[in-house]
Amino acid sequence: MNDWLYMVSVGTVARSHGRRGHVVVNPLTDFPESRFCVGELVYTKDGTEITERRITEARFQGGRPVVGFENIHSITDAEELRDCELRIPESALSPLPAGTYYSHDLVGCEVVTRAGKLVGVVSKVEGRAAVQRLIVVSNDKVCDVPLVDAVCVSINVGARRICIDPPAGLLDLNDT
């Protein structure tokens, strides 16, 4: 049985597309071509009910997936999926190359400087691939930390800890 809390978000349904029940997806994955293809499974949640949805048709338009699901055949059916989050079990994720991480693995990690000063905890990861940044929160302070090797000198997902070597002034940019 799939537990929503142990699933990973891979996209959201933006809107219906056409008359045959297709939807446009806002992908939240670096691998949309392999995630949103015919035969793949995603899950939606309505209240407490989790529904498995198999992709029956897929193409890309304007850089976003346009997909059809089993048992969704009309605009009305598709409109009911608007704003639905699409998730997959964490076990369905592909392994990543060394030195790369899924965003959900970084959220919740403690961020400290090389000197041992606590900066805060990662609340989310924003951006794509080479331009990602960690949004680090501590009390009422929010700090953007570039997710690059020169700044994030060590990441230990198992220990939930990221060590940074921030350039001068980085941690003061968002001081309130």
Model confidence pLDDT, tens digit, residues 103-137? 888 999 999 999 999 999 999 888 776 688 999 99
Helix (H, G, I), strand (E, B) or coil at 90: helix
d(CA 75, CA 130): 37
d(CA 11, CA 27): 4
Sheet holding 141-146, edge to edge: 141-146, 133-138, 118-126, 110-113, 161-164, 152-156
Is the pTM value of this prediction over 0.85?
A: no
pLDDT for 68 equals 97
Torsion of CA 30, 14, 80, 66, to 10 degrees: -60
pLDDT band for position 173 (50/70/90)?
low
pLDDT band for position 24 (50/70/90)?
very high
Tokens of 12: 């959201």
pLDDT for 84 equals 96
d(CA 136, CA 119): 7
